Amino acid sequence: MRDIFYRTDLESRAITAENPRGEKGRGGMASSVLGPARKGSPCLKDIKSGENVTLCSIDGPGMIRHIWMTVDDRTSDSDRFVLRDLVLRMYWDDESDPSVEVPLGDFFLLGFGESYTVTSSLVSVIPSRGMNSYIQMPFRKKAVIKVENQHRNPIPALFFQIDYTLGDDTEDALYFHASWRREKYTEKARDYTIIDDIRGDGVYLGTFLCLSALERYWWGEGEFKFFIDGDDEYPTICGTGMEDYFGGSWSFAGLDEKGRTYEKTYCTPYLGYPFYSHHDSYLFNKYHNDDCPPMRAFYRWHLTDPVYFHSDLRLTVQQIGVSYGGLFERQDDLSSVAYWYQTEPHNPFAPLPCVSERWPR
């Protein structure tokens, strides 16, 4: 990436609810009770259930450089998985199939419909739910970003800002993609597939993984496998374990002030374990009720160790645990986001599971 202090012909723009087309000299013009140009339309309001709103439609060439969003994570005591119910989609150059299709929270590394802090090089979440993406997204002709409300109720307010440049040299640039998967019960001795059926020339950018442990004992011995350019039974890249892929070791163990062992969460620029809970946070606060399997969320960005492919790519992870009796095959609940760049056209994604099949346990 070229240093920003060199002269350039690029033009900087931003799209918000007040300037939906990112027009020059037309930001913040909406009127409020305070008068003209005084914070009159800071968000999209009352997005109806089933409504599909367009956040931006930008003519290129250009590059999206930063996206900020925030939204309530529930609309009532019983309707509280907004971050899994809203679906984020992105389209490049008038394509009919989205290149990005991910539940809104999971795109920003917020799993299980939960809210927590994330600090990483490409995505940061600031209290409370200030969701930021710094993933660069080049396009040649057009960039369209949409959010669909699949939640049962209207969304009272969706705040957002999309910062981008126009005039970028994107002739040889790859297009950004992201796709969400879930298996509520993984199959014993069969790897969980994070992404497959990628065809083209590209580079793998990163992984977000959510795990609900459905069996006892340690869950993190499964190896990540990258099947690259024609690999069949065995991959070109195979790691040493799930905890190792996310940069950890020895069960992420830490010691409290009394010398007791506990799992230690962390965030670093390229990898992290930002969320752990063994109870439903809302019900725990209200009823003091441990009522769900342990939930863990992890991310890894391949910025300094990119995985290049030139015809096809598939990424899987084993479900292997270890107990006093040694290694064993196990079943858990996994969901994931794969992030990558590739040439177009891309293969259409499998249909996104319905709302209730996306909710956490």
70-94: per-residue pLDDT in tens?
999 999 988 999 999 999 999 999 8
Buried b vs exposed e over 150-187: b needs ≥16 C-beta within 10 Å?
Answer: bbeeebeebbbbbbbbbebebeebbbbbbbbbbbbebe
Question: What was the pLDDT predicted at 168?
Answer: 95
Say if residues 174 and 341 touch (Cβ distance below 8 Å): yes
Question: What was the pLDDT predicted at 251?
Answer: 87
Rounded percentage of the chain residues whose pLDDT exceeds 90 = 83
Question: What was the pLDDT predicted at 349?
Answer: 96
Write phi, then psi, for 106 (nearest 5 degrees): -65, -35
Instruction: State mean pLDDT over 144-167.
Output: 98
Instruction: State mean pLDDT over 353-361.
Output: 95
Would you say residue 97 has pLDDT above 70? yes
Q: Which CATH number fits domain 1-173: 2.60.120.10, 1.10.3860.10, 2.60.120.1390, 3.40.50.9100?
A: 2.60.120.1390
Would you say residue 284 has pLDDT above 70? no
Among residues 77, 112, 125, 115, which one has the least CA distance to residue 294?
112
215-237: per-residue pLDDT in tens?
999 999 999 999 999 999 999 99
Question: What was the pLDDT predicted at 248?
Answer: 93
Q: Which fold has domain 174-361?
A: Jelly Rolls (2.60.120)
SS3 content of the chain, % helix, strand, coil (to 5): 5, 45, 50
| Pairing mode, strands 175-183 and 100-103 | parallel
Q: Confidence band (pLDDT; 50, 70, 90) for 285?
A: low
Q: Do domains 1-173 and 174-361 have the same CATH topology?
A: yes
Say if residues 148 and 332 touch (Cβ distance below 8 Å): no
Instruction: State mean pLDDT over 15-40.
Output: 89
Question: What was the pLDDT predicted at 290?
Answer: 58
Which two structure tokens, joined as six digits, stand for 184?
Answer: 């509520």
Would you say residue 174 has pLDDT above 70? yes
CA distance readout (Å), 15 to 23, 55, 124:
8, 8, 20
- How big is the CA angle at 279 (ends 159 and 246), to the nearest 5 degrees? 70
* Annotated domain spans of the chain: 1-173, 174-361
Query: From CA 146, how far away is CA 52, in angstroms rounded?
Result: 7
CB-count burial class (<10 Å; 0-12, 13-18, 19+) for 199: middle
Question: What was the pLDDT predicted at 36?
Answer: 86
